[in-house]
């Protein structure tokens, strides 16, 4: 199905809503963006839609507060991320959380909305943290289009390993990074 001249707008809103609803896997949509629009243009459209959705999620949770967030995200997960957000500078932690693959970034936007990070810093640090993952997903999609099987396998295996590390070891990774930063300052 082609949306013609509205295709970019439709894709933008798909990215926007996939963040707000957050049970739709974002990587699949990002890969599709790379396949349809290429690495650069697919990355830009994805980044704009995803960041707009993240900002909307942030504002929704700011407006409706913890009771709303606890209805859509388990208390256990919210408490877990609040604990991580207190490990160091909240801006730096938000950047790392959005950078590390495997962390539920879309749910994190709602959690950040009830944390002590202000909107400007949330928008800035979450955006910069998202860029590498979005570009890699779009690049993967563009390689599907060109049928570059070798590169697809390399990216697929690498991203799977990084995803699993992020899911299983994200808190440990952040603690280690913060510990290294503290040791370099001393």
**pLDDT one-digit tens code per residue, 116-160:** 999 999 999 999 999 999 999 999 899 887 887 888 888 888 878
Backbone torsion region of residue 30, taken as left when φ is above 0, otherwise alpha when ψ lies between -120 and 50, otherwise beta: alpha
Percent of the chain with pLDDT over 90: 47
At 177, the pLDDT band (50, 70, 90 cuts) reads: low
Question: Is the pLDDT at 181 greater than 80, yes or no?
Answer: no
Q: Which range, of 18-32, 65-79, 131-145, averages the lowest pLDDT?
A: 18-32
Residue-level pLDDT at 186: 44
- Residue of 21, 12, 16 whose CA lies nearest to 104: 21
At 161, the pLDDT band (50, 70, 90 cuts) reads: confident
At 45, the pLDDT band (50, 70, 90 cuts) reads: very high
**Model confidence over 74-122: pLDDT tens digits?**
888 888 888 888 887 889 889 988 988 878 888 899 999 999 999 999 9
Listing DSSP states for the chain in one string gives ---GGGHHHHHHHHHHHHHHH--S-HHHHHHHHHHHH-HHHHHHHHHHHHHHHHHHHHHHHHHHHHHHHHHHS-HHHHHHHHHHHTSS-HHHHHHHHHHSTTS-HHHHHHHHHTSS--HHHHHHHHHHHHHHHHHHHHHHHHHHHHT-HHHHHHHHHHHHHHHHHHHHHHHHHHHHHHHHHHHHH-
Token readout for 92 is 């730096």
């Amino acid at each position: 199905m082609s949306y013609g001249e509205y295709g970019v707008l439709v894709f933008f809103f798909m990215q926007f809503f996939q963040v707000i609803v957050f049970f739709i896997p974002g990587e699949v949509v990002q890969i599709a963006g790379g396949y349809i629009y290429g690495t650069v243009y697919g990355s830009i459209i994805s980044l704009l839609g995803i960041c707009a959705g993240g900002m909307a999620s942030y504002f929704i949770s700011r407006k409706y507060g913890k009771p709303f967030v606890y209805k859509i995200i388990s208390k256990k997960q919210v408490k877990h991320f609040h604990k991580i957000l207190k490990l160091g500078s909240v801006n730096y932690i938000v950047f790392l959380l959005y950078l590390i693959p495997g962390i539920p970034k879309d749910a994190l936007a709602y959690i950040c909305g009830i944390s002590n990070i202000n909107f400007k810093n949330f928008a800035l640090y979450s955006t910069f943290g998202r860029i590498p993952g979005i570009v890699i997903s779009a690049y993967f999609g563009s390689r599907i289009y060109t049928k570059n099987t070798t590169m697809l396998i390399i990216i697929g295996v690498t991203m799977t390993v990084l995803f699993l590390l992020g899911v299983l070891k994200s808190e440990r990774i952040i603690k280690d990074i913060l510990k290294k930063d503290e040791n370099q300052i001393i």
